[in-house]
Amino acid sequence: MKHFTIAKKGALSLSVMIIASLFFFQIHSFAQNNEPVVGTNIGNKAPEIALTNPDGKVVKLSSLKGKMVLIDFWASWCRPCRMENPNVVAAYDKYSKAKIKNASSFEVYSVSLDRSKDAWVNAITQDNLSWEYHVSDLKFWNCEAAGDYGVQGIPTNFLIDANGVIIAKNLRGPRLHQELDKYVEGF
């Protein structure tokens, strides 16, 4: 029994040392390059997205560096998305004209999980999605960006700061406006 206890303590000590080493390595590598880890948690750097707009031009998320951006995953066939679109439009109309703390402006970067370009473009028009950043690979649930962001359902969104760091996610209805109000100068 004594031998088993010593082995158990040794395994526990080894486990604790491994976990501590991994934690130290992560902290050390973050401190070395001052860049947050790429991921989808709050505090992570948002993964790059490079998809085409309705005109076939590739639009990278990183091209919006310096702006606060709402990355909005949606689709024309998604009823909850279409019901949320007026709220996103209201937020865009209000905050794109506001002075945002530590950012040049506020933008929406819409990622569609559509399969049909016509349905996608028609929904943009019908819902008055007036911002210029609309992208899709027209691969439905096989959308690479949706996979990179772990999107399990839509609508889903991520709010990133001017450096591309995720500061909030899954903001719908009044919560979107309440969160954006925190970053407006003069409110």
Rounded to whole angstroms, the maximal C-alpha distance in the chain is 74
- 88 and 141 co-located in one domain: yes
The total of structural domains in the chain comes to 2
- Cα gap 2→136, rounded to integer Å: 63
Domain residue limits at 5: 1-34
168: domain CATH number is 3.40.30.10
- 28 and 64 co-located in one domain: no
- 17 and 93 co-located in one domain: no
pTM of the model: 0.81
Residue 24 is assigned to a structural domain of this protein: yes
pLDDT in tens, 30-50: 445 677 899 999 999 999 999
Rounded alpha-carbon distances, angstroms, from residue 68 to 21, 153, 156: 35, 23, 17
- Low-confidence spans in the chain with pLDDT less than 50: 4, 6, 17, 20, 22-25, 27-31
- Are the C-beta atoms of residues 91 and 176 closer than 8 Å to each other? yes
- 80 and 169 co-located in one domain: yes
